[in-house]
């Protein structure tokens, strides 16, 4: 029932009438280009009381609507536009038989792959016979027809179907141009073979570059029909394969959480699925396990590694009464946690929602070819009809008039246009892969041209993302080797991440570490034990104070300086005396300062964004060359999205580089997202460009390559359209010799391919 005919007990007031209270996300089917999404969005927004955003990449429509409008009304509007729509199915804890990624691939990619394979296998010999006179044996034209027919009918069916759907709704896209051109070439070839002279024995296509009027009865265009279909299907296949991964960021986010949990019930332990947890349940988290859901610690103490979610490089010490977040890692002792939030209320689920909202809110890039074809296609069709009418009116005869009209359609067929984007993208992405850069699709390239601000996550992007022993300060009379051997041996027995950093650094510098005796951990303070006959303490200054020891003035200054620099200071004592202070921190990557200089050279303003405290952030910024006023610290994951939005609202075009789950939503929100390939799957899938190596310098090369690829695509599209426009007058005048047309089409295609191949010479800055 439509909104205008619905019946209610009481008519809504004007205020109620304006209020948009309902919200739904519809899965849209049948879209083939960005203009399809724009058309659906336009139709939905024309409904009174509806606001809609349609995303071609994710194939979803996010709709807010008035209370007297139903979802059925919205779906009916989409279907009336020529597409399908349905509410997304609720997430199931157990997959249905025949569902999952494999089933999705069968449904979406395999049919397209089959059509592409058919087109390529059959089109290659058709093109070869048409272009190489030596291959034109007697009756070769009939073999060409036999091979081309399945390509034009079966392989090109998606284009014909979309063109018919567009025509029913008064629209024209690339699909219309492809369908009309392919059909015109094929149907004219059929006429020439069966009713003209093209089917005669010994017919050949010689290369005679002359301008002369022809009746076209001896000309066939099967190679154009088959070749265009194969080329454009190839582009559609790679585009569909990329689009199918649109939701992978959300899946990667949700898969980070624990799958099962040990709950404490009736005095015992029971292993259940995390989905069965309820608020108030108490559950056990052993060392090395993920915390199942958001909650409060009721028993035990430990260090919790929350770097994936918060970006905080230093593990957080927690004890009774402290809050913990689901999907973080228990890196220390045994914890008993009481669940406070479950399901969609958890921080992890809210982050997944942020990623989804950012993806759906990002405007779908309209391809230049689709924009122009909306005007170009009707103009070409009108010109063809005008040509037919003109020559008929001038007494040229039906055959000559129809030849000229069909020539107009054939010369407008977008062979080079179909190659313009896929070839440049394939060469550019192939070269990028060699350099450790993965480009997701052509819409990404538009963003690289505009960005002027680049936001860098600190942990794992500018820094290594792991705790490292950076410095050793010794008291008078203490040897560094002794400090490292004794402290490293004791820390090696601890599971704490900071302890492991000390142990690893000590082992690298002094070699094999001795085994400690009487090892014991002191919750929240450090460790103690016997190493080589020495009673050793390693940990906070308070641990030494409990044994009536204090740091001498020199070590005290070193500890305070480490705190100012944002580093963790660890005191070391043995045999009743404080001997050293160790500095541990997330080390800056060696290549990061050079990377910042290269990004500045591209006209970008670098901004450091982190969940770490401000002292740590400013110390890192100073080391890599980022101005203090461009440091944004102590930012929660959900606030990272707000920071990106604020920079965008201030007029900036923002790029974002990150590697953690906490960066995924911000990467999706940014105008350009660059994900470090050494990071999490969630960040990689949310990003537009993936940097396979952990080297930040590759980010500058990625932006340069993307801009270069975009420039190549634009050049290709320009010359492809110029070729069409320049040849149309000749075709309309009836002077388009088939061989000139063939040579022109070949030259246009060769130019596009050659121009694209220049991207293979792209070099990284350090090559």
Q: For residue 186, give both structure tokens.
A: 């094929």
Q: For residue 767, give both structure tokens.
A: 């090559």
Closest by CA to 696, choosing from 668, 662, 664, 655, is 655
Q: Quote the CA–CA distance of 78 and 316 in Å, as a whole number.
A: 50
Q: Quote the CA–CA distance of 543 and 715 in Å, as a whole number.
A: 68
Q: Quote the CA–CA distance of 294 and 305 in Å, as a whole number.
A: 14
DSSP code of 277?
A: -
Question: Angle, to 10 degrees, between the axis of helix 71-80 and the axis of helix 34-45?
Answer: 130
Determine contact, residues 225/189, Cβ cutoff 8 Å.
yes
- Judged by phi (left if over 0) then psi (alpha if -120 to 50, else beta), residue 91 lies in beta
DSSP secondary structure of 372-411: HHHHHHHHHHHHHHHHHHHHHHTT--HHHHHHHHHHHHHH
Backbone angles phi, psi at 550, to 5 degrees: -135, 160
DSSP secondary structure of 562-605: HHHTTPEEEEEEETTEEEEEEEEEEEEPTTHHHHHHHHHHTT-E
- The CA-atom distances, in angstroms, between 119 and each of 125, 144, 148, 448 are 11, 13, 8, 34
3-state secondary structure 466-514: EEEEEEEEECCCCCHHHHHHHHHHHHHCCCCHHHHHHHHHHHHHHCCCC
Q: For residue 508, give both structure tokens.
A: 């690298």
β-pairing, 605-609 vs 631-632, is parallel
Q: Is 457 labeled as catalytic in the residue annotation?
A: yes
DSSP secondary structure of 289-308: PBP-SEEEEEE--EEEE-HH
The label of the residue with tokens 């799958």 reads 259
Closest by CA to 663, choosing from 686, 646, 642, is 686
3-state secondary structure of 74: helix
Closest by CA to 306, choosing from 658, 612, 678, 695, is 612
Of 281, 457, 659, 688, catalytic: 457
Determine contact, residues 55/21, Cβ cutoff 8 Å.
no
- Can you list the alpha helix ranges (DSSP code H) found in 132-221? 140-150, 157-168, 174-194
Q: Quote the CA–CA distance of 415 and 575 in Å, as a whole number.
A: 83
| Alpha-carbon torsion (718, 724, 727, 732), positive or negative | negative
Q: Quote the CA–CA distance of 503 and 422 in Å, as a whole number.
A: 51
DSSP code of 424?
A: H
Q: Between vectors from CA 725 to CA 723 and to CA 726, what angle results, nearest 5°?
A: 65
| Alpha-carbon torsion (166, 167, 170, 173), positive or negative | positive
Q: How many residues make up the chain in this entry? A: 767
DSSP secondary structure of 705-765: HHHHHHHHHHHHHHHHHHHHHHHHHHHHTT---HHHHHHHHHHHHHHHHHHHHGGGG---T
Q: Which residues pair with 675 in a beta bridge?
A: 658, 690
β-pairing, 672-676 vs 654-658, is parallel
Q: Between vectors from CA 400 to CA 397 and to CA 404, what angle results, nearest 5°?
A: 135
Q: Quote the CA–CA distance of 357 and 399 in Å, as a whole number.
A: 58
Determine contact, residues 175/159, Cβ cutoff 8 Å.
yes
Catalytic residue annotation:
457
């Amino acid at each position: 029932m439509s909104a205008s005919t619905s019946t209610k007990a009481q008519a809504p007031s004007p205020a109620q009438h304006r209020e948009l209270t309902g919200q739904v996300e519809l899965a849209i089917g049948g879209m083939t280009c960005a203009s399809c999404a724009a058309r659906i969005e336009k139709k939905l927004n024309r409904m009174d009381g509806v606001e809609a955003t349609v995303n071609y990449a994710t194939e979803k429509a996010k709709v807010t609507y008035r209370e007297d409008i139903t979802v059925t009304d919205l779906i009916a509007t989409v279907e009336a536009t020529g597409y399908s729509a349905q509410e997304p199915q609720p997430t199931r804890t157990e997959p249905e038989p025949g569902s999952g990624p494999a089933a999705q691939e069968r449904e979406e990619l395999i049919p397209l792959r089959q059509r592409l394979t058919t087109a390529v296998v059959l089109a290659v010999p058709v093109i070869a016979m048409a272009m190489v006179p030596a291959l034109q044996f007697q009756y070769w034209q009939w073999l060409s027809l036999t091979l081309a027919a399945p390509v034009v009918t079966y392989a090109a069916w998606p284009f014909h179907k979309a063109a018919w759907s567009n025509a029913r709704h008064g629209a024209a896209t690339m699909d219309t141009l492809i369908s009309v051109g392919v059909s015109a070439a094929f149907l004219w070839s059929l006429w020439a073979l069966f009713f003209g002279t093209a089917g005669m024995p010994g017919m050949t296509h010689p290369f005679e570059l002359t301008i002369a009027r022809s009746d076209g009865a001896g000309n066939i265009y099967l190679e154009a029909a088959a070749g265009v279909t194969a080329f454009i299907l190839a582009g559609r296949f790679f585009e569909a394969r990329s689009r199918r991964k649109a939701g992978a960021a959300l899946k990667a986010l949700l898969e980070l959480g624990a799958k099962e949990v040990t709950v404490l019930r009736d005095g015992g332990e029971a292993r259940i699925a995390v989905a069965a947890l309820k608020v108030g349940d108490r559950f056990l988290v052993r060392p090395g396990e993920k915390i199942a859901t958001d909650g409060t610690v009721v028993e035990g103490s430990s260090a919790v590694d929350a770097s994936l979610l918060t970006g905080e490089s230093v593990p957080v010490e927690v004890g009774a009464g402290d809050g913990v977040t689901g999907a973080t890692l228990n890196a220390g002792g045994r914890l008993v946690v009481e669940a406070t939030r479950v399901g969609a209320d958890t921080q992890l689920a809210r982050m997944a929602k942020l990623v989804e909202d950012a993806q759906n809110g990002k405007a779908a890039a309209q391809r230049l070819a689709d924009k122009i074809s909306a005007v170009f296609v009707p103009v070409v069709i009108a010109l063809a009809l005008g040509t037919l009418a003109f020559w008929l009116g001038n007494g040229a005869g039906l055959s000559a008039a129809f030849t000229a009209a069909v020539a107009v359609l054939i010369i407008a067929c977008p062979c080079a246009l179909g190659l313009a984007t896929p070839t440049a993208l394939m060469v550019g992405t192939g070269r990028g892969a060699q350099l450790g850069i993965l480009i997701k699709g052509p819409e990404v390239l538009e963003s690289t041209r505009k960005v002027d601000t680049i936001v860098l996550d600190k942990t794992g992007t500018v820094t290594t993302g792991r705790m490292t022993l950076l410095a050793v300060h010794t008291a008078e009379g203490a040897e560094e080797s002794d400090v490292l051997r004794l402290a490293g041996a004791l820390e090696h027995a601890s599971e704490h991440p900071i302890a492991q950093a000390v142990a690893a650094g000590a082992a690298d510098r002094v070699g094999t570490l001795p085994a400690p005796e009487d090892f014991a951990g002191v919750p929240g303070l450090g460790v103690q034990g016997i190493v080589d006959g020495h009673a050793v303490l390693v940990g906070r200054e308070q641990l030494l104070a409990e044994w009536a020891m204090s740091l001498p003035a020199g070590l005290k200054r070193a500890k305070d300086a480490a705190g100012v620099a944002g580093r963790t200071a660890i005191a070391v004592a043995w045999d009743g005396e404080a001997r050293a202070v160790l500095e541990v921190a997330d080390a800056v990557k060696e290549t990061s300062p050079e990377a910042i200089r290269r990004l500045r050279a591209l006209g970008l303003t670098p901004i450091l964004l982190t969940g770490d405290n401000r002292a740590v952030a400013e110390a890192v910024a100073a080391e890599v060359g980022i101005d203090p006023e461009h440091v944004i610290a102590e930012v929660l994951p959900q606030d990272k999205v707000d920071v990106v939005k604020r920079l965008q609202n201030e007029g900036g075009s923002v790029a974002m580089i990150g590697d953690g789950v906490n960066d995924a939503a911000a990467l999706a929100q940014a105008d350009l997202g660059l994900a470090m390939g050494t990071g999490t799957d969630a960040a990689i899938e949310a990003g537009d460009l993936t940097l396979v190596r952990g080297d930040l310098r590759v980010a500058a090369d990625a932006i340069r390559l993307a801009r270069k690829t975009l420039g190549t695509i634009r050049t290709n599209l320009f010359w492809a359209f110029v070729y069409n426009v320049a040849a149309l007058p000749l075709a309309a005048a009836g002077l388009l010799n088939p061989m000139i047309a063939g040579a022109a089409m070949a030259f246009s295609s060769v130019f596009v391919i050659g121009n694209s191949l220049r991207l293979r010479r792209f070099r990284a800055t350090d090559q």
